Amino acid sequence: MDGRKRSNIKTGMEVRIVQKQDQRSGELTEGFVARILTKSPQHPHGIKVRLDTGEVGRVKEIISESD
């Protein structure tokens, strides 16, 4: 699924995000969505989320649906 559309992302989903400091390297961080921070229905660089670990970044990959 596309991480650039807000409708594809729900709390509890497992995703991979790129954090601000990792944008150049492209290093991805894996975790579960705790909160969706982007208000608009889509964003060209990915929807911004906060993971359950507190890390914030833009969704690049959706790994699994929430249970």
pLDDT surpassing 80 at residue 65: no
Q: Helix, strand, or coil here: 21? A: helix
How does pLDDT run across 15-61, given as a tens digit for each residue? Answer: 999 999 999 999 999 999 999 999 999 999 999 999 999 999 999 99
Q: Using CA atoms, how far apart are residues 7 and 24, in angstroms rounded to an integer? A: 27
Q: Is the pLDDT of residue 67 over 60?
A: no
CA distances from 19 to 41, 63, 67 (A): 20, 17, 25
The pLDDT value recorded for residue 37 is: 98
CATH architecture of 6-60: Roll (2.30)
pTM: 0.91
| pLDDT value, residue 19 | 97
Domain boundaries, the chain: 6-60
